[in-house]
Amino acid sequence: MVGRWLIGFANHALSALLTKRNFDATLQRYIANMLAVVLNILLVVAILGYFGLQTTSFAALLAGVGLAIGAAWSGLLGNFAAGAFIIIFRPYKLGDYVVAGGVEGTVIEIGMFNTIINTPDNVMSVVGNARVSADVIKNFSSNGYRRVDRTAQVAFGVDALDAIARLKAVLGAIPNVLTDPAPDVEILDFNERGTVLCVRPYCHTDHYWQVYFDTNRLIAETFGAAAYGAPHTVHQVRQG
């Protein structure tokens, strides 16, 4: 009973110290749980030794059991260790929009074993921290803005430079599009239907999809108002 009280006191003191030092709450739970496990094992070994039992064999047995459990729970332990590194190195935080472990969405929880991500179609996805750490992490919220990449197909016979000028004149009117950096509209490629333009406004991550869809609509409206012909494939047939 005294040992358990001391363990509780030690955990409480450690938590208070970490809180005072502004440690992350999840990291505090990691450290407190690890301390509690270690101290409880030491308490059991100390009690057995006090009553005259040989603790050497018990320690060996405990090590063997720990090894067996570790092998059986290797996946969970891997997630646990990966979660500790995520908390320490902070590749992302709550509220960030990321691609992690092959899942794209907003981080709503960073747990001891899993990271919970809410995808754009409002589906909660639970991803193991080990999978997150083993894969490439893309954090779209770490920078102040991101680029929206769209393309516009211009038909044969349409002046591509005129189309570029028209789009540049109206892109800035889309809500939440940044003026610095200014939107890019350039010739990207040529294909069998004509000229392909890249249309690239910039915005904050929170407004990405709004700007994405508004840009598509603006391209259609601008080309329609200019009465551009519909893109089509041109075939030349030679008569022998």
Q: Is residue 100 part of a domain?
A: yes
Cis peptide before 120 (omega within 30 of 0): no
Share of residues in the chain with pLDDT > 70 (%): 85
Mean confidence (pLDDT) of the chain: 85
pLDDT for 209-227, tens place per residue?
999 999 999 999 999 999 9
Q: Identify the domain containing residue 158 by its residue range.
A: 146-225
Strand order from edge to edge, sheet including 97-100? 124-128, 114-118, 103-110, 97-100, 138-139
Q: Is residue 177 part of a domain?
A: yes
**63-72, 158-167, 222-231, range with greatest mean pLDDT:** 158-167
DSSP state of 53: -
Query: Quick one: 28 and 58 in the same domain?
Result: yes
Query: Quick one: 220 and 154 in the same domain?
Result: yes
Give the position of tokens 């039992």: 53
For residue 211, the domain's CATH number is: 3.30.70.100
Q: Find the mean pLDDT for residues 96-110.
A: 94
pLDDT of residue 14: 79
Domain count within the chain: 3
What is the rounded CA–CA span in Å between residue 205 and residue 140? 7
Beta-sheet strands, E only, within the chain: 97-100, 103-110, 114-118, 124-128, 138-139, 146-147, 150-155, 184-191, 194-200, 202-203
